[in-house]
Amino acid sequence: MSELSELIGKQIRFLRNKKGLKQDQVAERTGREGYNKSRISKIESGKENVTLETLELIMHALDVTPQELFDFGKSQDPLVYQNKQEIVESYKYMLMERELEEIRYIVRTSQDLFGTIDSTRSQNTHPAK
């Protein structure tokens, strides 16, 4: 799965633990058939691609807002998060000194690089049989 799926899954696990809930309790709170401990586990581990409808059900089950669900900084190690923030901020300042076309080129190149990294991760996570 994608890095975003893993990040959302970690956030769901973080929020569930913060609320003192077990996976089967979250599944039950969705009020839908097909939601069980196993499915919540797959979502939390980033192994199941979630739809917006599923995210809404889980937000309701956890009693959280979209802002809480997507506030990824709280679920990460604070030191790691701070280091990432500092690096991103310094990169932002470097970009601001560049011409617009150079920034567009850097963004396109970065997107290609991230796609390659994600593809490689996916292949390593799900090796061919």
Residue 72 or residue 92, greater confidence: 92
- Residue ranges covered by each domain of the chain: 3-74, 77-125
Confidence of residue 71 (pLDDT cuts 50, 70, 90): confident
pLDDT on residue 77: 65
Predicted TM-score (pTM) of the model is: 0.59
Q: Is the pLDDT of residue 128 over 60?
A: no
pLDDT on residue 81: 67
CATH code for residues 3-74 = 1.10.260.40
Reported as a single tens digit per residue, the pLDDT across 10-56 is 899 989 998 999 999 999 999 999 899 999 999 999 899 899 999 99
pLDDT on residue 36: 95
Of residues 80, 51, 85, 61, the one with CA closest to residue 12: 61
Residue 68 or residue 80, greater confidence: 68
Where helices occur in 1-129 by DSSP H, the ranges are 3-18, 23-30, 37-44, 52-62, 66-69, 78-96, 100-125
